[in-house]
């Protein structure tokens, strides 16, 4: 039985300077199906969505809606072809009423037909079972209802293809169920839904089909019921299960007896769910999990980078209060942020100035580091870390990604931390530098520095870490040490116990 193909994308190519973001990707959406689009960071799913919604122009390939070839030049074009998108962050106006949000920007003539719009809005809201009234101020509704109003607007615009981009990331369980109810209802009306999410369980709960992308290429399209979770994870990460099993176990490192440096109990922040975590002296451990599983949020909580809500923290057995980064730094904790452009480097400052930054902050502003001292520090670390820069006074912004990363590493090493958190230190840098950083991590550990290492590449984690904390859907779901440290086991834990 061949269902009606609502939307077909064939051989989609999209280039960015220096990167091939989409390389001949195919995607097919059938009438009345919920189709999950999956992939890790950089897989190309958001690029594909943006090509489809007219935010980006594709460099090759073709898009057909209802069998007719179309060209999408702008978001308005996409809407005219019946392709509507509901974004993660709600793109409605909270100060207007529900009805106004549903009709504004698509009326004809200079006047607003207020009464007629309110009547029509109430009809649609009733039909879709959305618990809102047309005359309510949108800002008074819950986030889930606001999202549903955005969907109702799309539905009323006769959309055939509805794209939901991470719609559930800010909703609680009950709200997610409400949204799923609405999605199923739309599906039964023949709307094709593209569901982008990183919550695996939700994919299995609501979707009919899954398309997996990796590194800008199509991995495959599968019926949800025929693809076990662990298979899905291995397809997203890019290792076949058989291949994984044949890999040897990681070398066991014996540091179980070392003293505990850091201990957290029930630590939680505005972004992270409560978790327990201990770090031993000289240990390299890692947080792993898919994007959005809460790994970065957890380490940010350790460093006090987000608002800490609760939990107790002990350092070397003594209670400590870490609510701001400066508290963490004073306790000898360093944090290399995931997004080095936003949270790390100060592009206009020189290599030298960037390197001494953290040390200066710790010394306080009344004990400046002398020029000759800072020059000596900079020269030392440029040499130790092999930073490729024209001189120590070169602005950091002009260095390559890998060298920028080393500058930030130097900044933290200069403070002689007892515990260093490295969040994706190897992302977007060349293989040689990656290896250098991995070696450095191991060397630091030998010198007695504890390191927490986060990377999207499981292999890299296995090479460096003696203990892995596995997270899924914002909770720690497992801790792997010793002989459990192999790719198969890691992926099974990421995918969830039921797949074992």
Partner 1 sequence: MKTSFFKRKEPLTDTQLLMTIAIGIFVVMYVLAIVLLGGGFRRPKQIFDMLNDNASLIIVACGLTIVMIGGGIDISVGAVTSLVVMSCVLYLNSGGSIVVSVLLALGIGLGFGLVQGFLISYLEIQPFIVTLAGMFFARGMTTILSVNPQKADHAAFAELRNTKIEISWLGYTAKNGNRMPAQIELGVVIAFVCLVLVFLLLRYMRLGRGFYAVGGNQRSALMLGINVKRTRFLSYVLSGLLSGVSGYVFLLHTGAGNATNADGMEMNAIAAAIIGGTLLTGGVGTVIGSFFGVLILTTIKKIVVTSGLNAPWWQSITTGGMLCFFILLQSVVLSRRAKKKKT
Question: Applying CB under 8 A, which residues contact partner 1?
Answer: 75-76, 79, 87, 90-97, 100-101, 104-107, 109-112, 114, 133, 135-137, 139-140
Q: Are 276 and 307 in contact (CB under 8 A)?
A: no
Distance CA 95, CA 496 (A): 42
Provide, rounded to whole angstroms, the least separation between the CB of residue 76 and partner 1.
7
Q: Which helix (H) or strand (E) holds 381?
A: helix 371-384
Closest CB to partner 1 among residues 153, 492: 153
Closest CB to partner 1 among residues 4, 80: 80
Provide, rounded to whole angstroms, the least separation between the CB of residue 108 and partner 1.
9
Closest CB to partner 1 among residues 140, 205: 140
Closest CB to partner 1 among residues 110, 248: 110
Closest CB to partner 1 among residues 142, 323: 142
Contacts of 3 (CB under 8 A, 6+ apart): 30, 31, 32, 33
Nearest to 422 by CA among 270, 332, 274, 300: 300
Closest CB to partner 1 among residues 146, 229: 146
Provide, rounded to whole angstroms, the least separation between the CB of residue 177 and partner 1.
20
Provide, rounded to whole angstroms, the least separation between the CB of residue 147 and partner 1.
13
Contacts of 148 (CB under 8 A, 6+ apart): 128, 130, 132, 178, 179, 182
Distance CA 204, CA 357 (A): 47
Distance CA 26, CA 33 (A): 17
Closest CB to partner 1 among residues 91, 363: 91
Burial 265-288 (b: 16+ CB within 10 A, else e): eebbbebbbbbebebbbbbbbbbb
Provide, rounded to whole angstroms, the least separation between the CB of residue 95 and partner 1.
4
Q: What is the DSSP string of 331-362?
A: TTEEEE-S-IIIII--TTSBHHHHHHHHHHHH
Closest CB to partner 1 among residues 47, 79: 79
Provide, rounded to whole angstroms, the least separation between the CB of residue 292 and partner 1.
23
Provide, rounded to whole angstroms, the least separation between the CB of residue 91 and partner 1.
4
Closest CB to partner 1 among residues 94, 397: 94
Q: Are 259 and 316 in contact (CB under 8 A)?
A: yes
Q: Do the bridges between strand 192-196 and strand 34-38 make them parallel or antiparallel, or are there none, so unpaired?
A: parallel
C-beta atoms surrounding 225 within 10 Å: 10
Distance CA 359, CA 364 (A): 9
Closest CB to partner 1 among residues 53, 296: 53
Distance CA 189, CA 290 (A): 33
Provide, rounded to whole angstroms, the least separation between the CB of residue 89 and partner 1.
9
Distance CA 452, CA 421 (A): 5
Q: Locate tokens 């019921």: which residue?
A: 225
Provide, rounded to whole angstroms, the least separation between the CB of residue 343 and partner 1.
23
* Residues facing 192 on adjacent strands: 161
Provide, rounded to whole angstroms, the least separation between the CB of residue 92 and partner 1.
5
Contacts of 64 (CB under 8 A, 6+ apart): 5, 7, 8, 9, 10, 70
């Amino acid at each position: 039985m061949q269902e009606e193909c609502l939307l077909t994308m064939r051989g989609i190519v999209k280039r960015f300077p220096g990167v091939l973001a989409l390389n001949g990707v195919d995607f097919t959406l059938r009438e009345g199906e919920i189709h999950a689009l999956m992939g890790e960071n950089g897989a190309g799913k958001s690029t594909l969505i943006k090509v489809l919604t007219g935010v980006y122009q594709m460099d090759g390939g073709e898009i057909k809606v209802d069998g007719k070839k179309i060209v999408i030049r702008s978001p308005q074009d996409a809407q005219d072809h019946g392709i509507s998108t509901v974004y993660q962050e709600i793109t409605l106006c909270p100060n207007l009423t529900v009805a106004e949000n549903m009709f504004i920007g698509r009326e004809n003539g200079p006047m607003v037909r207020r009464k007629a719009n309110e009547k029509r809005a109430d009809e649609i809201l009733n039909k879709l079972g959305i618990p809102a009234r047309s005359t309510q101020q949108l800002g008074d509704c819950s986030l889930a209802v606001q999202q549903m109003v955005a969907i109702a607007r799309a539905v009323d615009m006769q959309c055939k293809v509805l794209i939901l981009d991470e719609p559930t990331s800010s909703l609680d369980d009950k709200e997610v169920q409400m949204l799923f109810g609405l999605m199923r209802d739309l599906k039964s009306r023949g709307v094709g839904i593209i569901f982008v999410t990183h919550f695996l369980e939700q994919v299995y709960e609501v979707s009919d089909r899954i398309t997996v992308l990796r590194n800008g290429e199509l991995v495959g399209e599968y019926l949800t019921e025929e693809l076990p979770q662990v298979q899905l994870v291995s397809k997203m990460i890019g290792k076949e299960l058989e291949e994984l099993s044949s890999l040897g176990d990681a070398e066991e490192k014996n540091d179980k007896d070392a003293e505990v440096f850091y201990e957290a109990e029930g630590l939680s922040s505005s972004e992270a769910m409560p978790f327990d975590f201990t770090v031993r002296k000289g240990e390299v451990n890692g947080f792993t999990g898919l994007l959005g599983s809460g790994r970065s949020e957890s380490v940010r909580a350790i460093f006090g980078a987000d608002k800490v809500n609760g939990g107790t923290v002990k350092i070397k057995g003594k209670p400590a209060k870490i609510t701001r980064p400066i508290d963490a730094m004073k306790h000898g904790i360093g944090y290399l942020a995931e997004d080095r452009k936003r949270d790390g480097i100060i592009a206009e400052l020189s290599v030298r100035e960037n390197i001494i930054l953290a040390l200066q902050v710790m010394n306080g502003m009344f004990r400046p580091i002398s020029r000759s001292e800072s020059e000596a520090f900079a020269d030392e670390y440029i040499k130790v870390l092999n930073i490729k820069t024209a001189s120590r006074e070169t602005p950091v912004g002009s260095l390559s990604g890998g060298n920028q990363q080393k500058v930030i590493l130097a900044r933290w090493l200069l403070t002689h931390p007892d515990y260093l958190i490295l969040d994706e230190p190897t992302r977007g840098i060349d293989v040689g530098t990656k290896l250098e950083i991995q070696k450095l991590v191991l060397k630091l550990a030998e010198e007695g520095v504890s390191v927490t290492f986060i990377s999207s590449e499981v292999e890299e984690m296995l090479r460096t870490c003696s203990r892995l904390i596995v997270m899924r859907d914002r909770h720690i779901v497992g801790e792997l040490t010793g002989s459990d440290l192999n790719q198969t086991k890691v992926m099974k834990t990421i995918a969830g116990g039921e797949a074992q």
